[in-house]
Amino acid sequence: MNKIKILVRKEIMDILRDRKTLIMMVVVPVLLYPLIIIGMALIFGRIAQSQEEKVYTVGYSAECEDTVSRLRELYQKEKENDDGEGGLVFVAWQGDRPLQKEAEEMAGNADQPQENDASQKESGELAGDVGQLSFEMFSGEDTPDILLNITEENGAEHIAVVYNSTDQDSEAAMYEAEELLELYCEELLDDRLAEKGLTEDFLHPVTFEAEDQASDSESFGMNIGGSIGMVLVVTILLGVIYPAIDATAGEKERGTLETLLTLPVTNFQMILSKYISVSLFACITAIISLLSLGGSVLFLIFGVAGEILKDMPYIPAVVLAAAVPGLLLTMISTALLVTAVCMCFCVFARSFKEANNYVTPVLLIIMFASMAGMLPIVEFDHVTAMIPFVNVSLMIRQVTAWQFDPSLAGITILVNLGCSLLIVWVLARIYNSENVLFSDGFAGFALFRKRSEIKKGTIPAPGDLLVGITALLLLLLYAGSAASVRFGFWGAMVSQLLIFAVPLFMVWYLKSDVRTLFSLHRPRCGTVMGSILLYLGVYCLMICAGSLFMELLPGSTENLETSFGPVLDQPFPVILLVTAAMPAVGEEILFRGLLFGSLRARVSVTKAILISAAVFAVFHMSLVKLVPTFMLGAVFAFILSESGSLYVTSFLHFLNNAVSMMVSKYPEQAGKILPFLVKEKLEAPELLILLAAGSGLALAGAALLHRNARRVL
């Protein structure tokens, strides 16, 4: 423990020597939030005030003076109770020549006919073809902000407000003119109803209104809470980046790492001391950010915007007492998690510049996750509380709405702390490897080297697998999604072709031995029989697991059924081709051939099975099928390791998808043969029977498979 204290003291002194760290940790949170929140509030307030004081000119044709004079009188009546100095000024135009320009002139001559008006009013009504105004008729400073073109259509006045949406003054004048015209319409309507001896109730036999049960404070919190959560998380991340880089890549760049390794301490003690030091600064940044943001918001509410929000109810004391400690613990746990994530990536870099390149994608991913609080459809519940960074943003949104759930806050804190401990354990394992500490940062990425420099028979490294799968996900996100939207069901073929093409390109570029890497060997008869028995047993267990998850997540089941609707409308042979045959080839080459084949050459078979199965499950992006898909990926990887043949797993993959599609396409016929396949809920006896049968078949199949195993190492 004394050694760790000494190392922590040393790391803190090193971090404090870097002024960038102090700026990002203290100066940015203290100054950033007041500048953004209070500064923007003052700027917008000043803009709103200037718009209220601004005078907007309204141009109209002199032939329409009757209507405009009434509009002017109505507008002046409404402005009597308004303290603003600005407003609308009506200017009559004869062709392209203004007859009046000053508001005082028009107010004094409102009841007097203008020049050349007598002959125009003799008809006593508006002509349908009076001169229409447009902005092309004007130039220079005399150009009105908006124009009123008044005509008569079917015995009713039609007033067109011509404005320019790219001009802020013109758009503001349009909104004010619209309000005036609405008052004008109401006045005309009241006059006509009075002539008929009717009241306004005649037009509205039914009245209704929407009553919002949420208080003003709750609405205010829900609107800005998500943004606050994202800003807090990003600020913590910015405060962590520099210390994390300095403690990892900085040691390598300065050449002091070798000296540290000569000290009588273990690598675990060394990385733990670095993590504690960086976490300390991260927690300080989190607390300062929380206090600065809270102070800025309170000053905005009760200071700058005190008059606007004076009716806002006070925060309930119970909510405040519970929320403040919960927020502090949440921000501290988030700081610990952010520190672990940043250091886990920075440890691979050899220089400050390289570490920045590694951390930039992490920043974008965390920022994207923390934006969940800005989406109204994402609710803070027991599921979202288990997603790191998403849970923090949603929790802060809930607290700003004066709603605090201690149980969800506890889940959030425990999840963040648990993820932090897991990543720290991984970081310790990484830091204990000399290949990571002293190798080139891109040594694990053969894909970044020229193909001429790659040796024949190269096995993809973990870095290559990460790049390849990430590139595939991006291709599926853009090309696959675009094809699905454009071609519907047939667009799924594009996704399957991408899954097939990416691993083939990787093994070609890396000059890998395809036969060895993909285990393209003829299977033995005994291994085939054992594999089928093992698969059938695990399939029964998958049904049990799937039934339990459907009970826990019924909403996910409904979404799954909706997504499969367009697929089931196709002919069954076509369904088998796209959803069974193509995945049996492409996904087996990707997950069992490339991923599992590369991992088992570097780690134990058990770890390779678990990692490949986890990636396989996450890749399918179905929460309700996460565990069953993991079980399927694990059993396929185990069968491949024992049988040494990708042909066996491809056949079983085809069989699995074909049965699934057959049950979905023909549920009645399938229910007559195997009723448990179509039941939404299995009873306890049925679950016990499936568990017993599945376990027996799985054990028998594993024994037969092991006896006839042909392992390819």
For 594-647, how does the pLDDT look when each residue is reduced to its tens digit (9 = 90+)? 999 999 988 889 999 999 999 999 888 777 788 899 999 999 999 999 998 999
* For range 235-249, the mean pLDDT: 83
pLDDT for 654 beyond 50: yes
Instruction: Give the lowest-confidence range in 120-124, 511-515, 669-673, 699-703.
Output: 120-124
Would residue 460 count as lying in a domain?
Answer: no
Give the 3-state secondary structure of residue 215: coil
**Single residue among 401, 436, 471 that ends a domain in this structure:** 436
Considering the domain architecture, whether residues 192 and 340 belong to the same structural domain is answered as no
- CA 523 – CA 711 distance, rounded (Å): 11
| Tokens (6 digits) for 99 | 């007859």
**Single residue among 436, 471, 492 that ends a domain in this structure:** 436
DSSP class of residue 6 equals H
Residues 475, 563 contacting (CB under 8 angstroms): no
Would residue 524 count as lying in a domain?
Answer: yes
Residues with Cβ within 8 Å of 117's Cβ and at least 6 positions away in sequence, in order, are 62, 65
Considering the domain architecture, whether residues 268 and 361 belong to the same structural domain is answered as yes
Considering the domain architecture, whether residues 685 and 703 belong to the same structural domain is answered as yes
Considering the domain architecture, whether residues 59 and 125 belong to the same structural domain is answered as yes
Structure confidence at residue 219 as a pLDDT band (50, 70, 90): low
Residue 17 burial (10 A CB sphere; 0-12, 13-18, 19+): exposed
Q: Is the pTM of this model over 0.85?
A: no
pLDDT for 635 equals 95
- Percent of the chain past pLDDT 90, that is, above it, reads 16
* Higher per-residue pLDDT: 495 or 405: 495
Give the 3-state secondary structure of residue 682: coil
pLDDT for 116 equals 41
Radius of gyration of the chain (CA): 36
Q: What total of structural domains would you count in the chain?
A: 3
Would residue 49 count as lying in a domain?
Answer: no
**Axis-axis angle for helices 626-643, 684-707 (nearest 10):** 20
pLDDT for 84 beyond 90: no
pLDDT for 39 beyond 90: no
Would residue 351 count as lying in a domain?
Answer: yes
Considering the domain architecture, whether residues 11 and 146 belong to the same structural domain is answered as no
Considering the domain architecture, whether residues 679 and 603 belong to the same structural domain is answered as yes
pLDDT for 711 equals 53
Residue 395 backbone phi and psi in degrees, to 5: -65, -45
pLDDT for 313 beyond 70: no
Considering the domain architecture, whether residues 544 and 681 belong to the same structural domain is answered as yes
Would residue 34 count as lying in a domain?
Answer: yes
Would residue 444 count as lying in a domain?
Answer: no
**Single residue among 138, 173, 199 that ends a domain in this structure:** 199
Give the 3-state secondary structure of residue 520: coil
Residues 186, 196 contacting (CB under 8 angstroms): no
**How many helices (H) does the chain have, and how many strands (E)?**
32, 5
End-to-end CA distance of the chain: 43
- Residue 199: other Cβ atoms inside 10 A: 11
Structure confidence at residue 709 as a pLDDT band (50, 70, 90): confident
Instruction: Give the lowest-confidence range in 17-26, 270-279, 478-487, 681-690.
Output: 17-26
Considering the domain architecture, whether residues 264 and 364 belong to the same structural domain is answered as yes
Considering the domain architecture, whether residues 39 and 87 belong to the same structural domain is answered as no
| Tokens (6 digits) for 497 | 């072709």
Considering the domain architecture, whether residues 33 and 181 belong to the same structural domain is answered as no
Instruction: Give the lowest-confidence range in 140-144, 202-206, 463-467.
Output: 140-144
Would residue 458 count as lying in a domain?
Answer: no
pLDDT for 608 equals 93
- Percent of the chain past pLDDT 70, that is, above it, reads 79
| Tokens (6 digits) for 498 | 């991408």
Task: From 594, 591, 440, 439, select the one nearest 509 (Cα to Cα).
Answer: 594
DSSP class of residue 712 equals -
Give how far Cα 282 sits from Cα of 21, 237, 330, Å. Answer: 10, 8, 13
Would residue 14 count as lying in a domain?
Answer: yes
Considering the domain architecture, whether residues 403 and 265 belong to the same structural domain is answered as yes
Considering the domain architecture, whether residues 18 and 130 belong to the same structural domain is answered as no
In which domain, by residue range, is 145 found? Answer: 54-199
Task: From 417, 398, 217, select the one nearest 336 (Cα to Cα).
Answer: 417
Say how many CA atoms lie within 13 Å of 162 toward its Cβ.
15
Say how many CA atoms lie within 13 Å of 360 toward its Cβ.
6
